[in-house]
Structure formats: structure tokens, C-alpha cells
Amino acid sequence: MSRACIPLLSLLLVAGIASGETIASLDSPGGMLTVSVTLDADGRPGYQIARAGAPVIADSRLGFILSDSPKLERGFRLEGVERKTHDQTWEQPWGERRFVRDRHQELRVRLVEKRAPGRRLHVVFRAFDDGVGFRYEFPVQEALRDIGIVEELTEFAVAEPATAWWIPAGEWNRYEYLYQKTPLADVAQAHTPITLRTESGLHLAFHEAALVDYAAMWLRRSGEAAPVAGQRLRAMLAPAAAGPPVRRSAPFATPWRTIHVAPTASALYESSLVLNLNEPNALGDVSWFKPYKYVGIWWSLHLDTETWATGPRHGATTANARRYIDFAAANGFRGVLIEGWNRGWDGDWFADGSDFSFTEPAPDFELEAVAAYARERGVRLVGHHETAGNVARYESQLGPALDLYARLGIDSVKTGYVADAGGIRTAENGRIRYQWHDGQFMSRHHLRVVTEAAKRRIAVNPHEPIKDTGLRRTYPNWVSREGARGMEYNAWGHPPNPPEHEANLVFTRMLAGPMDFTPGIVSLTGRGGQRIQSTLAKQLALYVVIYSPIQMAADLPENYAKHAGAFRFIRDVPVDWAQTLVLAGEVGDYVAIARRDRDTDDWYLGAVTDENARTLDVMLDFLDAGRAYTAEIYRDGDDADWRMRPSSIAIEERPARRGDAWKLGLAAGGGLAIRFRAGE
Ligand code: NOJ
Ligand code: CA
């Protein structure tokens, strides 16, 4: 289809925004969603999305402002379209589910400027029944080779009034904010994923997939008022230290812009949209990475009873490390993380990280001997590279640092980028520059670490990371990350994480991918006795609710000794799943998730609630038909409440069968964990 001119009469004017004429449309495989691609009278491209015929995304702009070429956003005509159908099931090496179905319809819209030099821009849409992804392609062309992107004009105009759950973008604390629940029109500038519930009950989320060699997309309120005032969000690319946020050479494609469209909060979390829009595994055999649980010299540092720095309270001593290794070996945990093992923590380490050595241990820590001691006991150390944001220094030592770990049998590393947003220190041509944690520079840096680590069969888990956009599919050694407020805030945060925090995370941050939340603080006590706003049973539930293929048992060994009954669940719970189902959930209120172990026929259930006690009705129709199960239940005691009696827990067994209808009682700030042991 090609159009030389657009009949002016066919233009619809909706509250001042010209709705363009549809030049191509795309239905999702089941016909649930329809994407319409539009060109307005000025040849400005846009798109709309409808669900079951009702508008979800109103006419929203597409295009760019460039630094070395006129803006690329109007005067287009349609040159042609290409379509593809796709329905394939692929297998994850590890994950929330073993098999993922990728069923979508694809439409490539080829646009060309009507006037010389006739630059070309392609937009590729993929429609799934639970969401849409689209990305721009810059094909090879004389008139557009080296491209500086000053602004991406992509918009998301939400058609119905909506409530949003979001954290601010462009603020100093990266992604470590409490989620706010506000009218969408009150969102100023937000990170993605941002989650919405519309007036009619639809659940939407905006995010991105495959953020490679590009700046992260923030979303900010656009000044345009239609169709619902304040509900038009526009892409804002994380800035670069100098010049435009993105510099690339054609040909290249941007990350996918993703729009989840789901009838319920449960369906939102169950979607595989982001993973499906990533490229398949680029690393080949990754069976060397096995999901695991770990313990470590960590919570004591956040409690400030031990220190990262050397001195009388140094946590990372040889003797202390051996104690943790023995504890791990005795309880079947594969990993032991030891923070403060290296030189550079003395003094003000987070000032600029300029003392960090990634190859030299602290004087009172015998790295080689400790690693050997661990190996002899079937335990592996988990490496730690805190950079304090000094990426220049880290990159200069990266090769030898990873070689050292490979030689010692250390096959995963937690990295860290503690620095204010905008404070990542880099050196370009000998000049110091400061970058954002999620700009193009850091998208390159993280992939460099991940690919260098993969060459040595090392898995990576960054804290203060760039956000997750599903790259674990392409690089399965990028196993987890932080990128939200984790458990550490319960040690020293003002305020600590509120009871609703995890019910927010599941439907926001967790749409992006795994999180190294570090659950399992059975003492329920932070620094100086600060009360954690959780019951004991909820700490167990988090192992099922907050997905990660590496999970920490984050409390001190002596605290687990005091809670042997509850600790049994932490020892038993797997970290790799064949299947995941959300049984019930509302954003920020509660969630119940069932997951089937990848290695046995057992199922596990985790449920958490906010500050309100509640009873959830669930059907056990996920269990195998005709099979008897024994449910090992860890529930809030009848008198439990996170304020009054947080440690009250009832541990009991009960038979279970498919089709049973159960009521799950959750205390205020509470939770529930169940292992369904499969019998005959
Ligand atoms: C922040 C990380 O989130 C935390 O886990 C770590 O202990 C400190 N940085 C020090 O690296
Ligand atoms: Ca952190």
C-alpha cells in the first residue's frame, strides 16, 4: 500500500491532537489486540492500540530529534510493509518456567521522507495477545550514517483514566525508591516498568526489551492534553556525560518499547512479553550455571556489627569465612558471599572507589586458602566487585579480576555500583567523565562485564545496575540484579520497606526480570533493633514470590539456629522452576504465586499481603490429577501481626489434592509458604 497524499477529510481531530489516517494495522494472533499505524496530514507517524475493539493507547507519536541531521518525525510516506507470523516454544536454561511460547504477528512499516534526501525509518511491531512491542530500525543509507539521538519522540497516550504505580527517574537514588500510587496524570518522570490500572480494570505496563548499546528510556508527562489530560507519556532517554544520549551508526535497531495489556494483575505478571522480544541465547552451552542459594558475610555489615573495612570488626576474616562455609556446607547452600574481602574498603570507600583492588585480598583474609577450604566442602565462594561507581578503575582491572576468580573456581560475581545517579566515573581519552547508571555508556559496560565473565564461565549479579530488559535470554549468565529497594533497606532505611513493598515489586520491578532481593531475615530486626515490617512466615514466602535463580539466605547463622522450624523451608525451597502461576493478586495489595520445582514434582506456594490481614481463596487446580500431596505449611500464627507478634508462625502438615479449594489466611504484614510434596 502506498499513499501519495492523505485526504484531509479523513483526519479526526480528538481534543486538539490530529489523529492520523491508518496506513497499516496488525492483529495479535488471537485477535485480542489491534495495532494501527498512522500518518497525519503532515506525514507524522503514530500508532494506536485497541483491545477487543476498545482504545487502550490513543494516537501516539513516533520519531526522533537528531544532533547531526534534521529531525526525523514528519514528511513521511509509506514505502511498504512486511508481515511475519511466529509461533514457537523455546526452552529457558533456567527461569520461572521451562518452556516459553512466543506467539506473535509482526509488521514492519517502511517509511521514507517525501522530500530529498528521502531518509528512511522502519518501525517493527510485534503483537502478542498480552502486549505489543515495537522498535525502530535505522537501515543503511547514504543520508543517515552516524546518528546522534537527542530525543526519542515515542509516546504512550493512555486512552482511559488510570492509576499508576511508579518510581521517579532522573533522581539521585537510581531505582531505590518506594513505589508511589497516584493518578497517571500525576506522574512527572518515571522509570520503567511503570504499571497502570485503567478505570475499566485493564492492567498495563510500559517497559523496554533488549536495551543494548542505547540509553534507558524514562517516561515523562508530555504537555499535550489529549485524550485524557496528563495521560500522555513521552520517552526521555537517560542523558550522556557529553553530547546526545545515544550515538550509533546505521544499520541498527533501538530497544523494543513494550506495552503489556492484561485483564488482571495476575496475567500481567505471567506475561513473557519482555523475554520473547529478546534475542535467543548467544552463549551456547550455559549448563555450567546452576541456580543456587547462598549465604554470606553481608547482613552483619548492614547491621554494622561487622565492617567492610579492616580493623577489629572486619567481617571478611579467614576465620569468619570458614564459619560461613561450614554453615553453608551443613545446610546445602552452594554459595558463600564474602564482602569486604579485597583492598579498598578502608576510609570513605563510596567517595570514588579509587582505592579498590579487584585482585588483592585484605591483609587478614587468605583468599586462596578460603577458596580451597570452600571447594573441599562442595561450596563455592561468590565473588564481589564493589566499584563505588568507579567504572574506569574497574574496567582497567576487569580481565585479571575475572581470571583470578576463574582460577579459584569462583563462578559467579556480585558487582556493585554504589554512587549517586549521574555519578558513574569513567575515563574517555584520559578525561574523567560522569555518566548515568542507565545511559548508553553503562548499557555497554554491563554487557562488557557479562560477556567477559561468560568467557570464563562466570555468572553476574549487578547491584545498583542498569534496569533489566530481559537480556538474560541472550546472555544467560546475567542471572540476577538488584535495581529496586531490597532487604538492605530493612537494616538501615528511613523508612524501611513498608508491608506493601513486595506486593508492589511483583507487579512493577519484577516484570523486568529476576531480583537479588536477599530475603530470609528471620530475626525480623535491622540495625540498632529497627523492626522489620514483616512477619516470619512472610520472610519464607519471599523465596517463592520474588523470583531469582540465585537466592540468599540473608540472615546470620546464629539467627537461623534460633528458628530451626522456619529455616527448614529456606533449606528446602528450590530456585529453578518448571512452571509459574499467579493464583491471586492485586497491585500493591497481595499476591499468591505457585511454582513447580524444575527437578522434582513438588509445587511451592508463596503469598504475601500488605498492611491488611486478609484471606485468599485459591483452587489447587495446578496439582497433578490423581496424585496425593502432603502440604508442609508455614503460615502466620493465629495471633500474628507484623507490629505485635511478627514471629508467631504455625508449621503444620495437611493432605492436598488437585481441585481442593483452600482459604489462605495472611496476617497484617504477613505471608505464607507451602511446599506441596508429591506422593504417589
Ligand atoms: C549495595 C548492595 O546492594 C549491597 O548488597 C552491598 O552489600 C553494598 N552495596 C556494598 O557493596
Ligand atoms: Ca543497593
* pLDDT tens string 18-34: 578 999 999 999 999 99
Rounded to the nearest angstrom, the distance between the alpha carbon of 175 and the centre of ligand 2 is: 9
Which residue from 338, 414, 488 has its CB within 8 A of the most atoms of ligand 1, so it is best to mutate?
A: 488
User: Is residue 153 over pLDDT 50?
Assistant: yes
pLDDT value of position 12: 37
DSSP calls for 13-57: EETTEEE-EEEEEEE-TTS-EEEEEEE-TT--EEEEEEETTEEEE
**In the numeric block, which cell numbers belong to residue 284?**
551456547
Dihedral, 484, 260, 583, 90 alpha carbons, nearest 10: -90
User: Is residue 48 over pLDDT 70?
Assistant: yes
Mark 629-657 as b/e (b = at least 16 C-beta within 10 Å).
bebbbbbbbeebbbeebbebbebeeeebe
Print the SS3 string covering 259-316.
EEEECCHHHHHHCCHHHHCCCCCCCCCCCCCCCEEEEEECHHHHHCCCECCCCCCECC
Rounded to the nearest angstrom, the distance between the alpha carbon of 529 and the centre of ligand 2 is: 21
* pLDDT tens string 100-109: 999 999 999 9
Query: Distance between CA atoms of 367 and 376, rounded to whole angstroms?
Result: 14
Rounded to the nearest angstrom, the distance between the alpha carbon of 490 and the centre of ligand 2 is: 12
Is 207 in contact with 274 (CB distance < 8 Å)? yes
Largest pairwise CA distance in the chain: 81
Is 637 in contact with 629 (CB distance < 8 Å)? no
377 φ, ψ to 5°? Answer: -100, 15
In the predicted model, what is the mean pLDDT of residues 8-24? 57
Q: Tally Cβ neighbours within 10 Å of residue 558.
A: 9
Is 197 in contact with 587 (CB distance < 8 Å)? yes
Q: Which atom of ligand 1 is nearest to the CA of 298?
A: 7
Query: Distance between CA atoms of 291 and 543, rounded to whole angstroms?
Result: 13
**Helices (H) then strands (E): counts for the chain:** 13, 39
pLDDT band at 14 (very low <50, low <70, confident <90, very high): very low
Is 439 in contact with 216 (CB distance < 8 Å)? yes
In the predicted model, what is the mean pLDDT of residues 153-163? 97
Is 301 in contact with 307 (CB distance < 8 Å)? yes
Q: Which atom of ligand 1 is nearest to the CA of 463?
A: 3
In the chain, % of residues over pLDDT 70: 97
* pLDDT tens string 281-306: 999 999 999 999 999 999 999 999 99
Query: Distance between CA atoms of 277 and 285, rounded to whole angstroms?
Result: 21
* pLDDT tens string 482-531: 999 999 999 999 999 999 999 999 999 999 999 999 999 999 999 999 99
Which residue from 463, 492, 550 has its CB within 8 A of the most atoms of ligand 1, so it is best to mutate?
A: 463
Q: Give the Å distances, CA to CA, from 83 to 32, 128, 258, 277.
A: 18, 14, 19, 16
Non-local CB neighbours of 305 within 8 Å, separated by 6+ positions: 313
Per DSSP, the three-state class of 404 is: helix
Tell me if the bond preceding 495 is cis, omega within 30° of 0: yes
Amino acid present at 630: T
Query: Distance between CA atoms of 669 and 498, rounded to whole angstroms?
Result: 8
pLDDT value of position 223: 80
DSSP strand pairing (146-152 vs 459-463): unpaired
In the predicted model, what is the mean pLDDT of residues 168-176? 97
Q: Tally Cβ neighbours within 10 Å of residue 205.
A: 27
Tell me if the bond preceding 549 is cis, omega within 30° of 0: no
pLDDT value of position 10: 32
pLDDT band at 350 (very low <50, low <70, confident <90, very high): confident
pLDDT band at 160 (very low <50, low <70, confident <90, very high): very high
pLDDT band at 16 (very low <50, low <70, confident <90, very high): very low
Active site residues: 488
User: Is residue 165 over pLDDT 50?
Assistant: yes
User: Is residue 459 over pLDDT 70?
Assistant: yes
Distance of CA 458 to the CA centre of its chain: 20
Rounded to the nearest angstrom, the distance between the alpha carbon of 37 and the centre of ligand 1 is: 45
Closest ligand relative to 356 C-alpha: 1
pLDDT band at 5 (very low <50, low <70, confident <90, very high): very low
pLDDT value of position 1: 33
Q: ∠ at Cα 485 (97, 262), nearest 5°?
A: 45
Task: Please name the helix (run of DSSP H) or strand (run of DSSP E) that holds residue 666, with its range, or none.
Answer: strand 661-666
In the predicted model, what is the mean pLDDT of residues 189-194? 98
Which residue from 300, 304, 308, 418 has its CB within 8 A of the most atoms of ligand 1, so it is best to mutate?
A: 418
DSSP strand pairing (292-297 vs 335-338): parallel
pLDDT value of position 588: 98
Is 321 in contact with 370 (CB distance < 8 Å)? yes
* pLDDT tens string 587-601: 999 999 999 999 999
* pLDDT tens string 317-337: 999 999 999 999 999 999 999
Q: ∠ at Cα 95 (415, 581), nearest 5°?
A: 130
Tell me if the bond preceding 400 is cis, omega within 30° of 0: no
Per DSSP, the three-state class of 89 is: strand
Query: Distance between CA atoms of 114 and 111, rounded to whole angstroms?
Result: 9
Q: Which atom of ligand 1 is nearest to the CA of 416?
A: 11
User: Is residue 2 over pLDDT 70?
Assistant: no
What is the chain's mean pLDDT, rounded? 96
pLDDT value of position 15: 37
pLDDT value of position 9: 30
Query: Distance between CA atoms of 164 and 197, rounded to whole angstroms?
Result: 7
Query: Distance between CA atoms of 149 and 79, rounded to whole angstroms?
Result: 23
* pLDDT tens string 365-397: 999 999 999 999 999 999 999 999 999 999 999
Distance of CA 134 to the CA centre of its chain: 19
DSSP strand pairing (33-39 vs 21-27): antiparallel
Beta-ladder partners of 158: 57
pLDDT value of position 513: 98
Closest ligand relative to 299 C-alpha: 1
pLDDT value of position 346: 96
In the chain, % of residues over pLDDT 90: 94
Q: Give the Å distances, CA to CA, from 29 to 25, 110, 130, 132.
A: 13, 22, 10, 12
User: Is residue 11 over pLDDT 80?
Assistant: no
Place of cell 483491545: 51
User: Is residue 603 over pLDDT 50?
Assistant: yes
23 φ, ψ to 5°? Answer: -105, -15
574 against 10, higher pLDDT: 574
Closest ligand relative to 461 C-alpha: 1
Beta-ladder partners of 523: none
Pocket of ligand 1 (CB under 6 A): 298, 339, 386, 416, 418, 463, 482, 488
